[in-house]
Amino acid sequence: MLSRLFTGYCLIVYAFLLAPIFVVVAASFNAGNFLTFPPQGLSLRWYVVFFENEVFMRAIRTSLWVAALTACISTVIGTAAAIYAVRHAGRMKDTVRVAMLAPLLLPEVLTAIALLFFFYAVGMGTRTMAGMVIGHVVITLPFVFMNVVASLESFDPALDLAARSLGAGRYARFRRIMLPLIKPGVIGGALFAFIISFDTFTISFLLKGIGTSTLPIQLFDYLRTNFTPEAAAVSSVSIAMTIAVVVVIEKVLGLRIHRF
Amino acid sequence: MTEVRISHLTKSFGAGPVVDALSLTIGHGEFVSLLGPSGCGKTTTLRMIAGFEDADSGVIAFDGSDVSRVPAEKRDIGMVFQNYALFPHMTVAQNLAFGLEMRKIPAAEIRTRIARVLDMVQLGTMTERYPSQLSGGQQQRVALARAIVIEPRILLLDEPLANLDAKLREEMRVFIRDIQRRVGITTVYVTHDQAEALSMSDRVVVMFGGRIAQTGAPADIYDRPATRQVAGFVGQVNVIEGVVETASGEGGHVRLPFGTIEAPRIGAATPGARVALALRPEAVSLVPPAGAGWQGRVVSRHYGGNLVDYRVAMADGTVIHAQTFPTTQFEPGAEVGVHADAARLWPLGD
């Protein structure tokens, strides 16, 4: 009885989470001229409009580039920070941890304004994509850090000693022993960084360079003057891309390491 | 084979020294156990030999050359860890190959060496298994194989049998010692289990509080313990105290609170001085009460299969621990004659 209640409860939660996605995807197949639900007739016409829209296509390319760069940089820095915090920080461990998670505690808009002032103060401004990527790295770092810390906590330090006793230097120990064992955390962190960067609005809005609008910004711009199902098509493609990235990375790199 | 010479090795963590000016030489191919309670410094000593900890002062030399500043990965040691520390993402063969790959050994030779060592530990068919697919005993043997396949100068074992069940533990004692003899490797074995230390070692080093309390062959440690602490830690013991009445040669006549005994050795004690004598429980036998000799009353009896454990209260209240074969048994409460094998009495220092 209790387990049936629990199953029902889970279903309600899932419905709550997934219903908006369902509505958006359904609305994108609308044949009519306005963003309505339920859709009026079935058609792919708004997808065609979207894929022929040069502005949206450029925004998607920008978004993918920024997300990929952010994921790479964030993963390297976040992994290094996590290894330091867990293995080498000693009594400083909690301090390092709080410092690394600080970006989560600040409202994103404050982080963005602070970075904006900083970029102008150092003369970098926001003419290029660099500022936005740095901003994305700042907000995604805690996610990489937390993921890698979690997998490092279950890494047995004796394995490192065993590898040392067998003659392995620092690099060989990292490459052959630690990295394969914390891989799920590293990849999980990279996925978070990619998805958060791909979806984030506030940071991008304030830090975007000239002609470097990401998809969420372009969509926001579009919705200010239009209300066609093209917006739903954009969202659906964005959702599909996010899912595709997760699936591809899972298949190629594997989120599991042990056979058992 | 390598000789390990440790001199005045000291290491502190915060408060007092964990290892305190320890000096010890381990001969070529010798099997030495470091035995002591937890916190006695035995594991820290082993970790310093391995190079995982730096000594505060003192020297560790392999065959005369100081390795104190050589990092662990260059010391050429094989180590077996208490939890085995097998690489979970590698098969048995990959675990064994790791150390050989680090030494840039050609692939063909790696294969033959792995096959030979796995044969030795009787795991020849397990090469493609992952550690999680092996039993505890098998993992233990893989860990041993991984440590010896690199043909290290010294083999270090840190409580390797602590996680195995009792029966397997006894089999592995014989197994490890057998392999160590065949390979002929200098071995340091850390344990808190006196039975392991006694049954496996050429020499046992008993440690308390970071210092060596006694070093000697297993029989020396057991039959001729240097101090009360050693006697009490290595096996069970009755410490009986008395006053020397007369001395003759090495021995003397000792008056105890519940009788007298002719001790063949009284150490440095002179007539009139107090002496503490170690008497192992299996050197005490119980007989039906007779007029002469020590008398006591059985307080408790514990049947242990091969031996029966008695506590016997003597006339003055002293409790003597006796272990006898179960052929004749006495009920709790029974009056008994207590007979001590005087040849097994050993005077203890402080």
| DSSP string for residues in B284-339 | EEEES--SSSEEEEEEEEEE-SS-EEEEEEETTS-EEEEEE-TTS---TT-EEEEE
Touching A: B residues 108-147, CB under 8 Å: 130, 132-133, 146-147
Residues of B in contact with A166 (CB under 8 A): 73, 98-99, 102, 146, 150
CA-closest candidate to residue B324, choices B338, B310, B311: B310
Q: What are the structural domain ranges in chain A?
A: 54-253
User: What are the structure tokens assigned to A241, written together?
Assistant: 């891309």
Amino acid at B108: A
> pLDDT class for B149, splitting at 50, 70, 90?
very high
Interface touch B81/A162, C-beta < 8 Å: yes
pLDDT, mean over chain B: 91
Q: Which fold has domain B4-232?
A: Rossmann fold (3.40.50)
Contact A258 B132 (CB under 8 A): yes
Per-residue pLDDT at A256:
54
What is the Cα B273 distance to its own chain's centre?
33
The residue ranges of every structural domain in chain B are 4-232, 236-347
Three-state DSSP class for B252? strand
Measured between alpha carbons, how far is B35 from B90 in angstroms, rounded to an integer?
33
The highest-level CATH class for domain A54-253 is mainly alpha
pLDDT score at B311: 93
Helix (H, G, I), strand (E, B) or coil at B104: coil
pLDDT, one tens digit per residue, over A154-192 is: 899 999 999 999 999 999 999 999 999 998 889 889 988
| Residues B115-128, mean pLDDT to the nearest whole number | 90
Q: How many CB pairs under 8 A join A and B?
A: 68
Q: In this predicted model, what pLDDT tens digit does every residue of B243-253 receive, in sequence order?
A: 898 888 888 88
CB contact under 8 A, B74 and A167: yes
pLDDT tens digit sequence for A19-41: 988 888 888 888 888 777 777 77
Decide if B103 and A259 are in contact by the 8 Å CB cutoff: no
Model confidence pLDDT, tens digit, residues B269-316 = 788 888 899 999 999 988 888 777 888 999 999 998 889 999 999 988
Element (H, E) at B37: none
CB contact under 8 A, A165 and B72: yes
Specify whether the CB–CB gap between A132 and A212 falls below 8 A: yes
Residue-wise pLDDT tens digits, A196-254: 999 888 888 888 877 778 888 888 888 888 888 888 888 898 888 888 888 887 776 66
* Contacts for A82 with CB less than 8 Å, ≥ 6 apart: A144, A145, A148, A149, A152, A185
**A contact set with B (CB within 8 A):** 156, 158-159, 161-169, 172, 176-177, 180-181, 257-260
Residue B139 confidence (pLDDT): 94
Task: Say yes or no to pLDDT of A259 above 70.
Answer: no
In chain A, the residue whose alpha carbon lies closest to the alpha carbon of B89 is: A258
Q: Which of residues 184-203 of B touch A (CB under 8 A)?
A: none
User: How large is the ipTM?
Assistant: 0.85
Which of A182-191, B104-113, B157-166 is most confident?
B104-113
CB contact under 8 A, A165 and B103: no
pLDDT tens-digit profile of B197-243?
999 999 999 999 999 999 999 999 999 999 999 998 998 999 998 88
Q: Nearest Cβ partner of B89 from A163, A165, A180?
A: A180
Q: Which residue of B lies nearest to A179 if distances are taken between CA atoms?
A: B89
Q: Give the up-direction half-sphere exposure of residue A83: CA atoms within 13 A in the CB hemisphere.
A: 14
Q: What is the pLDDT of residues B24-73, one digit of tens each?
A: 999 999 999 999 998 899 999 999 999 999 999 999 999 989 999 999 99
CB < 8 Å to B96, chain A:
none
Decide yes or no: CATH 2.40.160.10 for domain B236-347. Answer: no
Spatial contact of B312 and B296, defined as CB atoms under 8 Å apart: yes
Question: What pLDDT score does B204 carry?
Answer: 95
- In whole angstroms, give the CA distance from residue B174 to residue B181: 11
Structure tokens at A73: 């940089």
- Give the pLDDT of residue B110: 95
Q: Any CB–CB contact under 8 A between B102 and chain A?
A: yes
3-state secondary structure of B208: strand
C-alpha B11/C-alpha A13 separation (Å) is 58
Task: Tell me if B89 sits within 8 A of A178, measured CB to CB.
Answer: no
